[in-house]
Amino acid sequence: MTVNDLCNIEGFNPLTLPEGDREISGVYIGDLLSWVMGKARSDNAWITIMSNINTLAVASLTDVACVILAEGVTLEEEVKNAAENKGINVITSAYSAYDTALILSKAQ
Amino acid sequence: MSEQVVFTFDVDGDDFTSAGHASMQVKKNLRQLGIDPDIIRRVSIAMYEGEINMVIHARGGVATVSVSEEYIEIILKDEGPGISDIEQAMQEGFSTAPDNIRTLGFGAGMGLPNMKRYTDYMNIESQVGVGTTITMRVNLE
Ligand SMILES: Nc1ncnc2c1ncn2[C@@H]1O[C@H](COP(=O)(O)OP(=O)(O)O)[C@@H](O)[C@H]1O
Ligand SMILES: [Mg+2]
C-alpha cells in the first residue's frame, strides 16, 4: 500500500503529501523520539501524537514512509511548511494509535 | 590515501527547534558523495542524538564530520557541564533532561545508547566543568 492509498481510507487525511507514491512496509508506534530512532525501520508508517518540528527531523533521519498523527492531531502551519520542504508525508488519522494500526494491518 | 572530506558545524545551544540542522545537512552531503543509504542513516541518527544532547545538556558545541576511505568520523565537542559518571549516562533510560524537554519527546535516556548501537566505535571524553568530546565512527567497508 502506498501513502496515497492510505489517504483514500475514511478518517485519514493528508496534511502534507510530497511523496505520496512511497510504499508503506510495516508500522512503528511511539512518541519518545529516541525510541523511534532506535527501532523504526525505513519505509515504516510511524504512528505518533508528537507533532513538533523534531518529529520531522526524526521522520527524515529514520526515512519512514510517512508520519501518521493519531487522535486527529494536526500540524501548526510553520511545521506543516517545514514538512513540505523536507519532503515528509504527514497524515492525520481520526482514530487512536491502536485503531490506526489495525486499519493499516487490514489494508496491507 | 585519497583526500578527506570534512564538514564542520556550529551547534546553537539556545535554539532547540533548529537542532538537527547539522545532521540533516550531513545526510544531504553524504548522499551527494554516493554513500550507502544504510550507512547514511546510521551516521545521521547517531549525529542527531549527539547534536540534541549538546543543545539540551551542554549549551551547544561544534560538530565535525570527516569522510575517509575507511570510515566516517563524527566528533562532537562542547564546553558544557561534562558527564561525571559516563557508565551511568550510557545506561538505557538514564536521563537528567528537564520536564520541558520530555514534553517534546526527548529525554528518554536512549540517546547515548543509540549512538553506541549505530556506530562501530564510540569514545566519550568528559571532564566535569570543562566539557565533553564524543568521537564516533561508522566503517565504510
Ligand atoms: N554533551 C553532554 N554534556 C553533558 N551531559 C551529557 C551530554 N550528553 C549526555 N549527557 C548526560 O547523559 C545523560 C544520558 O544521555 P542520553 O542517553 O542522550 O539521554 P537523554 O538525552 O534523553 O537524557 C543525559 O541525561 C545527561 O545527563
Ligand atoms: Mg539524549
Pairs of CB atoms within 8 A across A/B: 65
Containing domain of residue B134, as a range?
A: 5-139
Number of helical (H) and strand (E) elements in chain A, helices listed first: 5, 5
What is the domain count for chain B?
1
Residues A61-76: pLDDT tens digits? 999 999 999 999 999 9
Q: What is the 8-class DSSP label of residue A81?
A: H
Q: List A residues 49-88 in contact with B (Cβ-Cβ < 8 A).
A: 50, 52-55, 57-58, 60-63, 86
Mean pLDDT score across all residues of chain A? 97
Q: What are phi and psi of A94, to 5 degrees?
A: -75, -10
Number of helical (H) and strand (E) elements in chain B, helices listed first: 5, 5
What is the least distance, in Å, from the CA of A66 to any CA of chain B? 16
What is the domain count for chain A?
1
Contact yes or no for B104 and A54 at CB 8 A: yes
pTM equals 0.95
ipTM reported for the complex, 2 dp: 0.91
Q: How far is CA A14 from CA A23, A50, A57, A64, in A?
A: 15, 16, 19, 15
Residues A25-47: pLDDT tens digits? 999 999 999 999 999 999 999 99
Residues B138 and B71: beta-carbon distance below 8 Å:
yes
Averaged pLDDT in 10-residue chunks for chain B of 141 residues:
83 82 94 96 97 95 96 98 98 96 94 98 98 98 81
Section A14-27 average pLDDT = 98
Strand partners, A13: A92
Containing domain of residue A84, as a range?
A: 3-107
Rounded-to-integer distance, Cα A39 and Cα B86, Å: 24
Q: Check which CATH number belongs to the domain holding B75 and give it.
A: 3.30.565.10
